Structure 1
Amino acid sequence: MSKAVYCEKCSKEIKFRGDLVTATIFFVVVAYHEDCYVKELKGFRGLFLDNQPLNGFSGNFLFVMAVLVGIGFAFGSLKWVSIIAVIPVLYRLFSFYKFERLLEK
């Protein structure tokens, strides 16, 4: 791919998907190296940084659960819950589109 992905903390290029961690800071999706993400959680910005990465096992699990909850409540009487369940799905899709698809596996 043509566009490079840079770490939010150290500003170095992230070259492989295995080294990428995406997270949210005040509703903005940012990319980190795996080591930089851990250091950032311990720092001041850790207060504003979501502790759950958007990619990886926990992000993918949340994505699947949000899709299931959204579909489950879309046909019931609590349709507003399905709208709320779309938020993690959109974050995960945005993370993939903006960062992960640009990197090698």
Structure 2
Amino acid sequence: MKNVVCHYCKKEVKDRDDLVTASNWFRIKAFHYNCFKEQEQDTKLSVNSWNPVNGGAGNVSFAIMLALAVWMLFTSTLGFIGDLIGILALYPIFLRFLSLIFIESTLPKFSSDKQRR
């Protein structure tokens, strides 16, 4: 398994339980859960903010954008503009798959040295 390093503190992320993957435009980075919270507090402009790709918000966004993309691409709603909206809705879906394949799948669900509560 490859090492996943936190973008904020530069330490290794041990398991998926502590992992937050976030995107900022066309970049996907890994964070510890606590480091991501600190990163959000340090952010001054919403343009420079990191948006979570995994977790509750990322999964809801994935489901909504998947439904929108399928609806716009496979129906004649709004014609050419609908097709364009459908293609743009594929962006968060693409990010979620990249995060899942290249970052999340390389980590165990729980690290062996972490105690379960």
Scaled by the length of structure 2, what TM-score is found? 0.81
1:2-81 matched pairs, under 5 angstroms = 2-44=1-43, 47=46, 48-50=48-50, 52-74=51-73, 75-76=75-76, 77=79, 78-81=82-85
Write the deviation string for residues 28-77 of structure 1: whole angstroms up to 9, x where unpaired. 10000000001111114775123x31000110111111111001011222
- For 1:63 and 1:44, how far apart are their aligned partners in 2? 24
Pair 1:97-2:97 in alignment: no
Unaligned runs of 5+ in 2: 110-117
Amino acid at match of 2:19: L
Structure 2: which amino acid aligns with 1:49?
Answer: S
RMSD: 1.5
Shift in Å at residue 26 of structure 1?
Answer: 3.8
**Distance change >3 Å, CA 81–CA 95, structure 1 → 2:** same
CA contact (8 A) 1:23 1:53 kept: yes
Give runs of ≥4 in structure 1 deviating > 6 Å.
none
TM-score (norm. length: structure 1): 0.90
Flag the structure with larger Rg.
Answer: 2
SS at structure 2 position matched to 1:90: helix
> Any gaps of 5 or more consecutive residues in structure 1?
none
Q: How many residues align?
A: 103
Is the contact made by 1:26 and 1:49 (CA closer than 8 Å) also made in structure 2? no
Q: Is the 8 A contact 1:6 1:31 kept in 2?
A: yes
- Distance in 1, matches of 2:49 and 2:83, equals 29
Identity of counterpart residues, as a percentage? 30
